[in-house]
Chain A
Amino acid sequence: MIMQTFLNTWKNLKNIFRSWVSMSMLIIGPLLIIAILAFSFSSSGFRNVKLGYVNEAEFEMDSLVDSLSYMGKFYPYTNLDVCKDKLMRQALHGCLHIRSLGGDRVGIEAHFDNGREIISLILLENLKSAVIEKENVIVESATEGMLSQVSSVALLMDEGEALLYEMINSLEVQRRQLVDARARIHDAETKYDNALYDAHRNYDSLIVNSGEYGEDAVDEIESARTRVTNTITMMHNLRSTALYLNDSYTADQISSNINYLEDIEDDLWTLQYNVQSDMGVYKSRLGDVDDILDDADDAQVYFDDALRELNTMIITLDSRLVSLRSTKDKIYEQKNKMKEVAGMGTDALLHPFEFEYKPLFSGSKRINKEITPAVAEISEEKKRDLINYGSTQILFPLIIAILVCFIAVILSNIIVLDEMHSPAYFRGFLIPAFRQVFTASLFLTSFVIMFLQIGVLLLVAHYSFYLDVFENIWTILPVVVLIGVVFSLYGMIIAYAVKNKASSLLVCTFLLVITFILSGTIFPIERMSAFMSALAGSLPFSVSVSMLQQSLFYGIPLSQMGNQFGLLLVHVVFTAIVLAIVRFISELRKGRLV
């Protein structure tokens, strides 16, 4: 029995390894998937990420934008609604609403499309890190600023202290100088007072003496005395003459006058002596007055010196005053800065940003309508269920796309293979009909079945999960149909290319695995290498998921998704051409085509 089991296993392995398709899928397939993964994620960073921001706080964005430039490009908007509209249309990956929270605090609302959850969360994570980094820079800068202010204050205080030392020293010197000046002024004042007293006294004495005597008076007295002497001499001559003339009377008379004149002469001698004596006293007093005047001059010099010193001291004091005023202004400025910092509060200082996540989709319109308080009352349980549905709805575009892809590829593949392996297949070549008729009918067959399944899916989405399906049916339907057509054609191409059922299904599975890898649902397209990102972004699966998200979540009509719809149409045409070629080659290879 064991031998038979091994024998069968050996036979099965032989069967598998002798089919080149199975071999390719089993050996090359995983290697190819690894290669695709490696090629897709060969480079780090983001591709084609666009972020909008509305800067109401006039926040300095440059450094934040610089630090996030590795993520993508930032576009400024003046209106948040415009920015959010772009976000809904997937023209942006996020919208930052930057507003002032008072003081230096800034609120950052990160609006993101939770429909594109994986890339949004990655971007938000990076954004948050950048904001924290920026916050750290700001805190660091604020701390540095504070330390700088403290350092400035300390420097200022050093300067002030030095200034005060200087001032004290200067004032001490000046005090000493003032004390000296005061003493000197005091001496001068005493001297001046004494001199003034002496001057007054001498002046009075001079006034008294100068009224009786004078130099002229001495000369005049001497002149008068000389004239009197001369007269006496002449009188003697006259008495001699009179005696000669024997005029004794006259001689006597003359002698009497001579005696009188001699008395006058004596008086004049006395007067002259007295005047001369008084003049000596006067001259002595004049000497005293000169001394006093000298003393007054000295006092004047003292006063001038003292005045000069005082002026110097005033200039020095003025200069110190200027320094003191400047220091006072600096202290005032620093004080205000310190007050400002003190007024910020610890939270604002440590957390200058308030970061808030704002998911764009909060449930379909139907759910929001149901849970709005204005509508008839619903139970809490029902409300909770509806909110839960709201979070489940995010997955629906992806679920619809996945199911459509799965159904389309597998179903069309099976239908074509069934037909090709049907005993009636051969007869089809004998029928007078174009081969395209059979291909088209196979496609239509799979499409009808797929359409029924899509219908059921959309009904469930609408009625059980409250999605706005009917409201957006004219967008959803063409998208679902086109993605179904593309993947049906894929399934048919594989069936025509690989006729063995097991191998064909293996190839379908392989295709679906690659589709999912490159769809952005597992690994974000924005993280792939430039080429793979561009390729994956234009693949029908990712395009249709994007269109379904826009339509189901935000009601964006098909007319506004022209480019993506056009891309899907291009895929349909391209795949149809490939199908025609593969079918032609397949039938030609079989030798059943003329």
Chain B
Amino acid sequence: MKKEAILEFKGISKKFGKQTVLSNVSFSIYENEIFGLLGRSGAGKTTLLHILLGLVEEDKGVILYKGRKIRPNSFAMKKKIGFAAQDTSFYPKLSVEENLWYYGRMYDVKRKVLKERITRLLELFSLQRARKVSASKLSGGMKRRLDLAICLIHDPDIIILDEPTTGLDIILSDQIWDMIKRIKEVGKTVIISSHILHQMQQHCTTFGILDQGMFYDHKGLYSFAKKHKIKSLERLFVKFLQ
């Protein structure tokens, strides 16, 4: 059965001044997959993600959500998307539970539902014992987990993770990837931008590369890898960009 595209980018272009950051970018992301967005620094990955999050407006093109044209900054779309960046984004002086409760209510989640969801997320991210602890007192790994929990508090369909493991040690990185897999397991679609290619190769179900504003999807990349007999994503990335 053919998977239904949850997101479709069609001809997205964006310029900052005279600099073209995105040029006619078109690709699709399917439900319940982990999509890896690759590209060197300044390739436009964050801009593309910000367009999807409604933080930056595209100059041209449309985004379709489940086949329908959407405005990414609409409230309805914001409720469909969860986001976690390399830097955690929550209130350090609030406790873990207070942060979850605050964001849950801000996303207009009903109190009863929210209470259950907080319990479930705390279990999912192993934060039960820290629920009353001030967020500023959490360890680095727990902060990342709390950030992911907040990202899921409104039960979004799409999770966007921008460099989720950058700067983390290998153990914490594994924990985060473990969490991402769990997120996928609960039926979410995950979009990840990262430089850590071996992790991407290991965990992403599909991916694409942004370079000089152009997008190259996994089909083209597979053909390229096959043609050049490249098995490692890292090698493919280097060779492709060369």
Which residues of A come within 8 Å of B, CB atoms? 422-427, 429-433, 591-592, 594
Known: A427-B103, A429-B55, A430-B78. 5 other contacts (CB 8 A): A422-B91, A423-B89, A427-B89, A591-B55, A594-B56
Give bound CA distance, A425 to B88, whole Å: 11
Q: What are 7 A-B interface contacts by the 8 Å CB criterion?
A: A423-B88, A424-B90, A430-B83, A591-B55, A591-B56, A594-B57, A594-B72
Give bound CA distance, A433 to B81, whole Å: 14
Closest 6 CB pairs between A and B?
A432-B75, A432-B78, A427-B89, A594-B73, A594-B57, A424-B91
Q: Which of A423, A424, A430 has the most CB of B within 10 A?
A: A430
Assuming the A-B contacts A426-B85, A594-B54, A594-B73, are A432 and B108 also in contact, with contact meaning beta carbons closer than 8 angstroms in the complex? yes
B106 at the interface (CB under 8 A from A): yes
> B79-96 vs A: 1/0 string, CB under 8 Å?
101010101111110000
Flag if A432 contacts B91 (CB, 8 Å). no
Which residues of B come within 8 Å of A, CB atoms? 53-57, 72-73, 75-76, 78-79, 81, 83, 85, 87-92, 103, 106-108, 150
Chain B residues within an 8 Å CB radius of A430: 53-55, 78, 81, 83
Chain A residues within an 8 Å CB radius of B87: 423, 426
Give bound CA distance, A427 to B75, whole Å: 14
Chain B residues within an 8 Å CB radius of A433: 75, 106
Chain B residues within an 8 Å CB radius of A591: 55-56
Instruction: Classify the interface of chain A: helix, strand, loop or mixed.
Output: loop
Give bound CA distance, A592 to B54, whole Å: 8
Give bound CA distance, A426 to B49, whole Å: 14
Chain A residues within an 8 Å CB radius of B72: 594
Chain A, residue nearest B79 (CB):
A432
> Among B76, B89, B106, B107, which residue has its beta carbon within 8 angstroms of that of A426?
B89
Instruction: Classify the interface of chain B: helix, strand, loop or mixed.
Output: loop
> Among B56, B78, B90, which residue has its beta carbon within 8 angstroms of that of A431?
B78
Chain B residues within an 8 Å CB radius of A425: 89
State the Cβ distance, B27 to closest chain A Cβ, in Å.
21
Flag if B55 contacts A594 (CB, 8 Å). yes
Flag if A431 contacts B150 (CB, 8 Å). no
Chain A residues within an 8 Å CB radius of B55: 429-430, 591-592, 594
Give bound CA distance, A433 to B57, whole Å: 18
Chain B, residue nearest A431 (CB):
B106
> Among A426, A429, A431, A592, which residue has its beta carbon within 8 angstroms of that of B103?
A431
Chain B, residue nearest A593 (CB):
B55
Give bound CA distance, A422 to B55, whole Å: 18
Q: How many A-B residue pairs have CB under 8 A?
A: 50
Chain A, residue nearest B80 (CB):
A432
State the Cβ distance, A424 to closest chain B Cβ, in Å.
5
Give bound CA distance, A426 to B73, whole Å: 14
State the Cβ distance, B203 to closest chain A Cβ, in Å.
24
Give bound CA distance, A429 to B72, whole Å: 12
State the Cβ distance, B101 to closest chain A Cβ, in Å.
14
Chain B, residue nearest A590 (CB):
B55
State the Cβ distance, A83 to closest chain B Cβ, in Å.
58
> Among B53, B57, B90, B108, which residue has its beta carbon within 8 angstroms of that of A423?
B90
Chain A residues within an 8 Å CB radius of B85: 426
Chain A residues within an 8 Å CB radius of B79: 432
State the Cβ distance, A216 to closest chain B Cβ, in Å.
174
Chain A, residue nearest B84 (CB):
A427
> Among A427, A432, A594, which residue has its beta carbon within 8 angstroms of that of B90?
A427
Chain A residues within an 8 Å CB radius of B103: 427, 431
State the Cβ distance, B12 to closest chain A Cβ, in Å.
14
Give bound CA distance, A592 to B90, whole Å: 18
State the Cβ distance, B59 to closest chain A Cβ, in Å.
12
Chain A residues within an 8 Å CB radius of B92: 422-423
Chain A residues within an 8 Å CB radius of B107: 431-432
State the Cβ distance, B97 to closest chain A Cβ, in Å.
15
Chain A, residue nearest B57 (CB):
A594
Give bound CA distance, A393 to B89, whole Å: 49
State the Cβ distance, B156 to closest chain A Cβ, in Å.
10
Chain A, residue nearest B81 (CB):
A430
> Among B75, B78, B83, B89, which residue has its beta carbon within 8 angstroms of that of A424?
B89
Chain A residues within an 8 Å CB radius of B73: 594
Chain B residues within an 8 Å CB radius of A429: 53, 55
Chain A, residue nearest B92 (CB):
A423
Chain A residues within an 8 Å CB radius of B54: 430, 594
State the Cβ distance, A439 to closest chain B Cβ, in Å.
15
State the Cβ distance, A390 to closest chain B Cβ, in Å.
45
Chain A residues within an 8 Å CB radius of B75: 432-433
State the Cβ distance, A430 to closest chain B Cβ, in Å.
5
Chain A residues within an 8 Å CB radius of B90: 423-424, 427
Give bound CA distance, A431 to B57, whole Å: 17
Give bound CA distance, A559 to B77, whole Å: 50
Chain B residues within an 8 Å CB radius of A427: 83, 89-90, 103, 150
Give bound CA distance, A241 to B73, whole Å: 212
State the Cβ distance, A80 to closest chain B Cβ, in Å.
61
Give bound CA distance, A429 to B54, whole Å: 9
Give bound CA distance, A202 to B32, whole Å: 189
Chain A residues within an 8 Å CB radius of B91: 422-424
Give bound CA distance, A594 to B58, whole Å: 9
Give bound CA distance, A592 to B57, whole Å: 9
Chain A residues within an 8 Å CB radius of B108: 432
State the Cβ distance, A13 to closest chain B Cβ, in Å.
30
Chain A residues within an 8 Å CB radius of B78: 430-432
Give bound CA distance, A426 to B89, whole Å: 7
Give bound CA distance, A261 to B149, whole Å: 211
State the Cβ distance, B13 to closest chain A Cβ, in Å.
16
State the Cβ distance, B154 to closest chain A Cβ, in Å.
9
Give bound CA distance, A180 to B181, whole Å: 162
Give bound CA distance, A433 to B150, whole Å: 16
Chain B residues within an 8 Å CB radius of A424: 89-91
Give bound CA distance, A429 to B73, whole Å: 9
Chain B, residue nearest A591 (CB):
B56
State the Cβ distance, A440 to closest chain B Cβ, in Å.
14
Give bound CA distance, A422 to B78, whole Å: 21
Give bound CA distance, A155 to B83, whole Å: 111
Chain A, residue nearest B89 (CB):
A427
State the Cβ distance, A38 to closest chain B Cβ, in Å.
42
Give bound CA distance, A181 to B57, whole Å: 140
Chain B residues within an 8 Å CB radius of A423: 87-92
Give bound CA distance, A432 to B104, whole Å: 11
